[in-house]
Each structure stands twice: as structure tokens, then as C-alpha cells.
Structure 1
Amino acid sequence: MKNNIFRNVIILLLILFVVLIVFGGSYTYWNAANPEKTCASCHEISPSHQTWASSAHSQITCFKCHGTALSNGLHSFSEKANMVFTHVKSAPHRDEIRMSEEQILETMQRCKGCHENEYSNWIASGHSASYSHIFLDEKHNATEQLNFDCLRCHGMFYAGTTYDLVEPISVEGPWKMKDESRADLATIPCMACHKIHSRGMPSVRPDYANPGYIFYGRVVQNNSIGLYVRNEEIHFDLANLPTPVILNDTDTVQTPNDPVYRLCVQCHAPSVRHQAGSSDDKTPTGVHEGISCRACHEPHSNFQRNSCDKCHGDKSKNCKLDVRTMNTTYISPESPNNIHRVACQDCHDDGRNSSKSVKQ
């Protein structure tokens, strides 16, 4: 009897050992093999794989960004198992699957593994605002009632509506999150402006033998930059974003040629009358007309305290004044002269380019 029990235990352990070997080998192969033989063998993944293969991230394996079935313990295992179960259980209703907001935010945490500097700059910017920062802002909510369009820029990947997120939908508070677990989640993650699976090539070293031609051989690339449109559930490349017509009273404002401006203005947009400075618009007019957002705002951090030094010397050639100390919103948010719209006549009442004509 004891011999039979011992033999059964040995057999059971051998079976378990074989199962672990097979599972471990299969798991290792799945993560190391060419995606065409694993993930991309499903037709829903094919479009993403095709763009990944021709992108700047083509040398980075899928699981580096998306994780594996065991990368996040039981949570990731159940998530991947549920994806397989859902796929097998019923015919998919779309040819290309989408990541949920939770998956987007998890992937964003992996972005900082390679893009640590960009991530830290983003954290320090206004674009890292959470749901509670945006939707529980008493001053803003009392001025402008929350509506469905808020999620167009703040919460692009959120699956619900504004009514599912916060209450009451009114200019009278107090306001509270319906789901407190979302309060600290980022409303503008990396993928709001970056399409990771986008066409592009990894950077290469220039021709050092001809340093004078390095400038001419460098191609301007904005490969991953684009706008995620919530209603369409798709990224639009910069080339496909329209350049809006901005008016200053009845005059058409000269807008920057920089394609990134077309991205910024999708959220920092004017009112329906297209007047510069209306609503959330920051299109420069006056002395800064035609200048791109990136000329003053650093990427990701939006830091602008060094912006004057990029173009100006110690003193303006026209006014003979230190532009850093002029009475504009650059020096003080209380200034009546918005740095985006300041014009010569805001300071000079006689039209002369002289410091003697500056209003006191």
C-alpha cells in the first residue's frame, strides 16, 4: 500500500515537472519569438504589428511595453486570460482591438523605463493633471458647466461619459467623483499626443567625415506625434490635422508653420467665432504673431521661463528695454498685457520704437 502511494506521488511529481517544463518553454518561446508567429497571428493585432514593424520602436519587443501574462502577477494573468476567452467565446466585432484606459496608463508606466526624462518633464507640466484636478475645480465648474466635450481633451481614453464621472453636472456644487478610484488618474497620458505604433525609423549616426553636411542630411521627424480623437477612437497624424483660421477682430492671424501647433490648437482652441485669445486659445498675435508654441514652451514640461533668452538679447533692439522685466504676463500673471497677445501699442502710445515712449 505504501509503495503504491509513493509511486503515485512520484508519478504526480513527474507529471507536474513535465507540465512546468512545457509551460515554461512555451511561455519563453511566446515572449521571444517573432510577433508574426505569436501575437500578430490574430487578425486584430495585424494592423498594429504592421505599423510597429516600420516604426522607431521596431527593435523593441512587444512585451517591453505591453508586459507579459505574468509581468504583473495575477492581475496581468487574469487580464490576458480574459482577452483569450473573450476572443474564443464570440466573434470579434471589430478588426482592430483597442486598449482600455487602464491598459494605457499601465503601458505609460513602462514608457518611462526608456523615456525617463520626458516622463519627469510631463509630471512637472500642466498636462499631468488628474481627474480630480480637472473635474473638481470649483472655480472653473462654477464658471462653465461640465459637459460631454470636457472628455475630448481631459480623459480621451475614458470609456464612460461626464455623467458617469462626476456629479452634479451643474454650475452649483459641491462636486464629487462618482468613482473615487479615478480621482488621481492622469487625464492626458502619453498616448493622447503620441501614437506609439507609427511609421518612422530609429535615429542613426551622421556622416562624421562630412560634418558640414550633417545639417542638410537631417530630416525633421515628428513620427509619433498626433492627436487621439475620442469619438473616432483613432490617432490622427500631424499631417492630417487641419490648420484653423484664427481672427484678430476681422484680420486673419498668421499662424505658425510648425505642424505641432496644429496639435496644440485642437485643445487650446478658440471659440466658435475663431477669435484669437477666446476660450482656451493661445495663438500668438501682436509682436509674437507667427511664432510656434515650441519656440517658447519646452516639449513635455511646457517650461517657458527660458523662452525670452532663446530669441532676445539683454535688451530689445526696438524698445531698448529688457524684455524679461516688461509689464507682461511673463513677469506677472496679474499683468494686463498677455504675453501671447502683447503688441507695440500696448506699451507705446506714440508709435515710436523708443524707451522714452513707454507708458508709465
Structure 2
Amino acid sequence: MNNNSFLLSAKGICIAAFLSFNTMYAQKTAEIPTISEKTLSSILEKNRTYYTQGKVADYIPELGKMDAKAIAFSVVEKNGRVLNVGDVYKKFTMQSISKIVALMIAVKENGEAGVFDKMGYFGTDQPFNHFSNLETTGKPLNPMMNAGAILTTSLISGEGEKPFLKILDMVRYITGNQTIEYNTSVYQSEKSTGHRNRGMFYLMKNNGLISGNEDQLDNYFKQCSIELTAEDLAKIGYFFANDCIRFDGDDRYKNAEMSRLILSQMLIAGMYEFSGEYARTVGLPSKSGVGGGITVSVPGKMGIGVFSPALDKHGNSAAGYHMILDLARQYDLSLF
């Protein structure tokens, strides 16, 4: 093959690759067809019985009182339209989903470097409450596991419960729901049984990452005890999916870089040791909590919230995962 033929051939390959990429990009950025309540209801009913394959968390005694059969499914579309099916008024605690809101506030106050100098961006193959490398490198792997989340909350400024109140106020703002409160019974239950988290707190204090007292750990227990609904979770998913713009268009916290940071952490660590497989099957930034909720962000498009308290072996909602998986497949929502 002479040089001209080679160049023409290479040029043809490049053009073909470019066109292929453009086609794929167009498919992924195309508007999603309108989702109906009938569709959500159908997906919910199909996956309702997955609760039998999970178990309600009972290592925090108050969580063990949840009805395993409860289930809800919510979507907030790009125009702010809200769709709800199932037990839409059923309240549950945020648990680890609160970590993404705390991370936003900590980064807003300290800058990204001010937070991530003290912890990693890493994923993990360990459960959410694993000590990971605290005893070796001395730093948490990421802000989504308990150790990193406890440290994140400790970085929010203010005395006493002020850091917690900042998280609560931000959750109220994002959801547009000023009635949201924390469940004092769950908080007391978490505090009285949270010895593993207490151990992480003191290891990080010993390593010089935390300088305060157990008030900071109490703030973490309180943020995990914030109570909301699947609709509220869908609105949180929408907020981070759309550059920190609220579902009703309020853009006072608009910040594309913040959104990218939160979404990247949700994608690599939001479902704990299941995050890699979840990225392969669902392919969307998501954050679960042991209260049975999962919030999902479809970047630039929508937010999804699910609730079913029976958890799989990874600590994620069993029915919730399968509802998200079916919706993602039906509407080709995966990023990949």
C-alpha cells in the first residue's frame, strides 16, 4: 500500500469512528420518552416480591421495625414533573444517602482539596462500615464509606449541632420540603449501638484528621436519621443530575463542578462493594442507605428515588435495585 492509499484508508477509519461516536452520543443525549405512572407501577409490581430475598437492617434496633413489604418508586423528570407510585407517603431515614449532601457542604466550605487531602477518591471491595486502610495509611478510602463520611461531617464548620442543621436545611432546600425532620428514636438507637463508628472516629482523631469531640459524631448519627420519602430522594437525585439546580428551576446553588464531583463519587462508591457491578448493570450515579432508600441521578435528565427496606447482602435495597435496573434498561438510561 502506498502512502496516499494508507492515508486515505486511515482517514476513512477516523471518519467512521467519529460518525460511530456521534451516533452513540446522540442516542445517549436524546430526550427520554415521557415516563408514565402506569410504567412505574408495572415495574414496581414486577419487582415487589424481591423483598423476600432481603432482610431489614436490625443492627440498629429502630431500623428493624420497618415493614419489609413497604415499597415506593418516584421519578422527577427534566421539566420538574413528579411521578409517584407505591407507598409514596411512607417515611424512612436517609442513612448513608445523607453523605452526598454533607459532602457538598464540606466541599463548599473547605474546597475540594481541603476535603480530599484527608481522604481518597477510591472505590472499594469492602462493606460500608469497613475500617479499610485507617490503620495503615490513616486516611479513609472515600467519603461514601462510614469512615470518610464521619470525617466529612466533622469538616463542616460550627459548634454543637450546627453542622447537622446545615445538612438538614440543605436537604429541606433541595427537596422543597420544609417539614423534613430527623427521627429522634432512630438517632438514639444509632448513637447507643454505633460503637464501630465510634472506633473509626477515634482512630481518625488519633491520626490527626479530627480534632473535635463526640459532638461531631453525634451530628453524623443525626444526619443518618433524617426522615423523608421516595419523592424527596428523586428530587435529590435530580438536583445532582442537573448541576445542583433544584427540580423547580431554583439555581442559587448552581455548580457544575460540584455536581461532577458528587456524581463521580456516587458512581464509584455509592453502592459500596457492589458499585462496580452496579455500574455495569445500571450504569448510573446512585447512593443507597440501609434505611432502604436509593437515590439515582440520570445526568442532565432526571432523578429517581426508590424505597424498600429489605436489603441484599451488600446493604442495598433488594427490590429497589431491581426497579432501578428495569427502568434503566427500558429507557436506555445507562451512561455506557
Does TM, normalized by the shorter one, top 0.5?
A: no
Q: State the TM bucket, normalised to the shorter chain.
A: under 0.3
Higher helix share: 2
Higher strand share: 2
Structure with the larger RCO, 1 or 2 (CA within 8 Å, 6+ apart): 2
Report the TM-score when normalising by structure 2.
0.25
